[in-house]
Every structure is written in structure tokens, then in C-alpha cells.
Homo-oligomer: A and B are copies of this chain.
Amino acid sequence: MARKTKAEAALTRDRIVTCARQVFSREGVTNTSLETVAKEAGVTRGAVYWHFRDKADLFMAVRQQTGTLLRFDDFRTGDALERLEAGLQAALDRLRTDRQALETYEVMLWKCEYVGAFASVRKDLMSASSLFLTEVTEFYGEAVRMKLASADLDPALAARETLCFYAGLLKLWLADENGVTVRAEVRQLITQHVARRRLQKAV
């Protein structure tokens, strides 16, 4: 077949990744055949196997294309607890407004089996959790030092609770299609969660 320009090839690759995400989210990772992805992208499996080693590799590309939801570095203003809340709110905001992010995370949390080649992805997720813990522990440490939070707040333990809260919130938010469980009140939920750690400000 006629060889494509490097730029065209990059576009093809990107189309494959985008379509893979959509098919994954419709049919689940294990059930999607590379044939389906290829057709959706207007190419053949030849193109898919040219750009990616196998389905697991393609899955990694889907994750990378979307990137990470939570980026506390984006928030530099306000006290530690305000920055923590801003980061969490922004993550959930992105799910609400960015369809790509929504699809990717729905695949990761509800439509993927972490087995075989995908077991390593689960370890990745746990590494991300460890990073989360480090960052949030830092926030709580600062909050205690600045007297925003009670002196007997254990930063590491509180961070773990926040991690659980966040993980569960993501998972439930994605599944809560009619909004009755958590979707309608995400904002308040996050605000309240952080506020509960603040001194003298029971909610």
C-alpha cells in the first residue's frame, strides 16, 4: 500500500488510539477484537499491529493519551486544604466535561480485567496511589503546621482516608449514570470531606 507521511502516520496512530478507547468503553477491553478497533478507525489490523505490539500496548497508549486526572501542581494559591480541595474538584470536573477522560476512566475502573498482561497496570495504579498519598500527606502536614487542622490529625492516616474517599468517589461517580448516588452532589461531597479536616468548621 502507498506509504504515508510521518505526519499522516501519526494521525493514523492517534485515530486508532481514539477508536480503541471508544470500543473499549462499549465492549470492554477483553471483548474488543483488534479487528473492531481497526474497522472503526478505517484501517486494517495491519495498521494496528504496525503501531502497537498487542492489545495491552494499545491500552497503555489509551491511558497515556488521556493522561492523569489529578494534578495538584496546577493549584498554587490558597492554603494547603484549599489546594487539596481544588485538585480534587478539578479532577471530577474533568470527568464531567472531558468525554475522553470519562471514557478512559470508565474503561479503567469498570471495563478492564487486571489479569495477565494487565496485572502490571494495576501495579501502576497502586504506584499512583502511593504518589497520591505522598502529596496529600504533605498537604495535611502543612495544614497541621499552619494550624488549619487539629494538631492531633495524623497526616498519613488522613491521607489514606482521602485516598479511599477519592478512589470510591471516582468509581461510584462513573457508575452513577442517573446521578442519584453521588453524581448530583460531588462538589459538596469533596468540599465536606476536606472541610471536616479543618479546625472549628464542622459541617
Contact surface of A with B, Cβ cutoff 8 Å: 26-31, 110-116, 122, 125-126, 129-130, 133, 150, 152-154, 157-158, 160-161, 163-169, 171-172, 175-176, 180-182, 185, 188-189, 192-193, 196, 202-203
Contact = CB atoms under 8 A, between A and B. Distances in A.
A75 B48 CA distance: 56
A interface, by DSSP: helix, strand, loop or mixed? helix
A122 B174 CA distance: 11
Given A122-B175, A192-B161, A129 B181 contact: yes
Given A130-B181, A175-B126, A202 B27 contact: no
A161 B180 contact: no
A28 B172 contact: no
A169 B164 CA distance: 5
